[in-house]
Amino acid sequence: MKTIYFILLIILVSGCGSINPKYSTNISVEEGSDVEMNGNSDSIEKPNHINLVFNPLMMEDIKSNTEITTKWELIKSIPFGEIEGNEVELEIYKSNSKEDNLRSELNGILKTQEVQLVISDLADSFIEKKELDCSQFCLFQRIFAEQEQYELLGSVELYSNGPGNRLYIVYDLINDKFKSFNAWGEPYFIDLDDDGSDEFIIEFQGLHMSLPDITIIKAYNGKLGFSESVFSSIQRNPGDFATLNINNNPPTIMISNVQSDLEKIHNYIYNQGVLERTESKLK
């Protein structure tokens, strides 16, 4: 079964470049982590503990726009939560190209009573689908746990060479600014370590030459920290990949391999920035 999955994955990714965000590949492994060879002489056993490295989350100010160009056609308007009691709307505009062979670009205008901000190059699915879901936009309206400065308003899908590239819209409550960052994957708020505070998870499903992966966003020295990818942190063998199982209690991060039927499935739990191995079993 695993061999069939790998063949399908190779068919999917052939001819395409990597699109996964770039992360640090530094690996921090605690002493006594028991890195050893398993039944496959070419495969290295996973450690018992892995410290994830968190770096400051880099965000950019969203550019303002005081005037809508006449070349833009308003397609729809979407309620997009509220900031300090003021409603926010996302207006979707289509830029009409005179060239028949050129794609008509979609742009968004994020509007409040006080500001009008440009979100460039939205995904075509905003007009291709009659009913939009979280694949196109997600409304969160959540303040990130254990800090008081940043509120995640929501996300929108950007035009890319595959689905899942999202722009996350964040409101800076202290400086009264809208900021953004982008990342590939499905977003979740979930309490990974059962401490009463939700971490923000972005689970990349895999696309082109990039395998499934997970990143975690949490409070970091009073700000926001973006973890290096679990894939980069835990990879020991070619073909390793990471997925999130939210049905377990607590949720587990599963590490497996698409290339070897001898490679075990390893389950890890997250605990305050550390991945702890709880179980390893054969496929």
d(CA 71, CA 68): 8
User: Which pTM does this prediction carry?
Assistant: 0.78
Give pLDDT tens digits for 194-246.
Answer: 888 889 999 887 676 667 788 899 888 778 999 877 767 766 666 777 888 88
Range of the domain at 250: 2-281
Tell me, rounded to whole angstroms, the distance of Cα 221 from its chain centroid: 21
Give pLDDT tens digits for 54-83.
Answer: 999 999 999 887 666 667 889 989 999 999
- Give one DSSP letter per residue of 254-282, joined into a string: EEEESS-SSSPEEEEEEETTEEEEEEEE-
Residue 195: CB partners within 8 Å, gap ≥ 6?
272
Do 145 and 219 form a contact (C-beta atoms < 8 A)? yes
pLDDT averaged over every residue in the chain:
76
Between 67 and 184, the more confident residue is 184
Give pLDDT tens digits for 240-282.
Answer: 778 888 888 888 888 877 666 666 788 899 988 888 988 766 5
Q: Structurally, how many domains does the chain consist of? A: 1
